[in-house]
Amino acid sequence: MTRTLSRRGFLKTSAAGLGALTVAAPAIHTRAATATVRCGVVTSLSGENRFGGNLTRRGYDFWAEKINEKGGIEIGGERFKVEMFYGDAQSQPASGASAAERLIVQDEVNVLFGPYTSGVTLAVQPICAKYRVPMISGSAESPNVWLAQPAFNFGMIPSVDLSSGKAVGVIADAAGTRPASAAVVGVNEPFSKETAEGFRAGVKEAGLQLTSYELVPAQADLTPIVTNLKAQNPDLVAVGGHEEVLINVVKTARSLDFRPKAILMHYGVTNPAFARELGADADGVLGISMWTPKLPYEDALFGTAAEYDDASHARWGSRPDYTEAACSASGLVLQDAAARLGAPPPWDESARTELTKAIEETDIDTFYGPVAFDKEGDHFHCNTRPVPVVIQIAEGAVVPVAPGDAAEGEFVYPLPKWS
């Protein structure tokens, strides 16, 4: 069963609830007779990050459908169906925080599945702590998400500082003729900025000349930025941003007849919308993936990584990327922790706190890969176990090209001139 949160309905009915929140300590009424696990999804279903936001929803929903086909989550020998509720973050952190609070207070969800972007995730974390509701995030790769050591938030994907810097070195080593120079551009928002900083660190570590490093607004006119890159003519251009910006960088470079020997981006390249929007101009663009269907992983619900890929394709009509896969695996973390908790829903504050502790002790293998959360340091509650793979778009498909033991296709370097 799925339900969509109606903002209009909430505004009509929540005046009394909001009033209570202003005069009393936060409290959630738990439904004593509802034998379901109530899961809230707060993500960007509208706004500039809607493409990625809807991918996260697909990943979470696919897990819910699959576990409900089995009768629900098994806890103490009984199975409990999953109910999904949704809050649209509208690609804005403040809206995400409001949506999370509505899901917790109005819909009485037991657990949250996290937003698409790091900025919204940071805004939602205090809400989780306020109501002591655990949140499992299948996206959100900025290291800033974990620096404050959020007690109730857990991340499935290694933060971008761990993955983007390493990718530059992998590319330099895999190229037949090693690149000598690189330029880095990033959008000035949490995930994209941290991606750019990771690229910059990787350029330095790989021994390449950094011709420029620039942070730009999300709505910046890209023409002067790409014109400046063309004048520098670096071998490698690395871009930190989300799908819309990444797509527009390629379009602008095409219009200015500028094509570096390699162009590297991060998340967004593996989103099917990237190749669909750019067509043949997407070919050759490099990206980073934390998961591919060829990896030798499996679990009891989804089977192998390849079987998950085929089943998701049959369900949605397009192949899942690593974020969608990580979101589906988020459900596996919940069902494993709930089984170890051993207490049937509904879960009060005490039970949710114990559930959070159970999630912290996660140590499982899934179709997405190994999952265990750091318990200290700068990547507190981040799953740092997956190993990054460099991919390249070839005839619209996402093809792993490096490192060599993960490659499934030829690494095209240098890129040919625009035809």
At residue 7 the predicted structure's pLDDT band, cuts being 50, 70 and 90, is: very low
At residue 17 the predicted structure's pLDDT band, cuts being 50, 70 and 90, is: very low
- My answer on whether 199 and 150 are in the same domain is no
Whether 407 maps to a domain, the answer reads no
Q: Which residues pair with 185 in a beta bridge?
A: 214, 239
Whether 202 maps to a domain, the answer reads yes
- My answer on whether 265 and 393 are in the same domain is yes
Whether 29 maps to a domain, the answer reads no
- My answer on whether 200 and 265 are in the same domain is yes
pLDDT digits (tens, 9 = 90+) for 352-371: 999 999 999 999 999 999 99
- My answer on whether 87 and 166 are in the same domain is no
- Calculate the average pLDDT of the chain: 89
Q: What one-character-per-residue DSSP string does 150-216 give?
A: -TTEEESS--HHHHHHHHHHHHHHHSSS---EEEEEEESSHHHHHHHHHHHHHHHHHT-EEEEEEEE
Q: What is the CATH number of the domain that holds 133?
A: 3.40.50.2300
- My answer on whether 58 and 194 are in the same domain is no
Q: Which domain holds residue 201?
A: 162-289+388-402
- My answer on whether 262 and 348 are in the same domain is no
pLDDT digits (tens, 9 = 90+) for 190-247: 778 889 999 999 999 999 999 999 999 988 999 999 999 999 999 999 999 888 888 9
DSSP state of 261: S
- My answer on whether 150 and 231 are in the same domain is no
pLDDT at 4: 32
At residue 273 the predicted structure's pLDDT band, cuts being 50, 70 and 90, is: confident
**Residue 11: is its pLDDT beyond 50?**
no
Cα 109 to the center of its chain, rounded Å: 21
Whether 96 maps to a domain, the answer reads yes
Q: What is the pTM of this model?
A: 0.75
- My answer on whether 224 and 242 are in the same domain is yes
- My answer on whether 320 and 344 are in the same domain is yes
| 13 Cβ contact partners less than 8 Å away, ≥ 6 residues apart | 106
pLDDT at 132: 97
CA distance 333 to 196: 30
CA distance 100 to 98: 5
DSSP state of 406: G
- My answer on whether 243 and 298 are in the same domain is no
- My answer on whether 280 and 331 are in the same domain is no
Whether 18 maps to a domain, the answer reads no
At residue 28 the predicted structure's pLDDT band, cuts being 50, 70 and 90, is: low
pLDDT digits (tens, 9 = 90+) for 214-230: 999 988 999 999 999 99
What is the tally of structural domains in the chain? 2
Whether 30 maps to a domain, the answer reads no
Expressed in angstroms, the distance from the first to the final Cα of the chain is 50
Task: Return the higher-pLDDT residue of 90 and 166.
Answer: 90
- My answer on whether 259 and 303 are in the same domain is no
Whether 118 maps to a domain, the answer reads yes
Whether 266 maps to a domain, the answer reads yes
Backbone φ and ψ of 321, nearest 5°:
-95, -175
**Residue 59: is its pLDDT beyond 60?**
yes
Task: Return the higher-pLDDT residue of 117 and 20.
Answer: 117
- SS3 state at 408: coil
At residue 48 the predicted structure's pLDDT band, cuts being 50, 70 and 90, is: confident
pLDDT at 9: 32
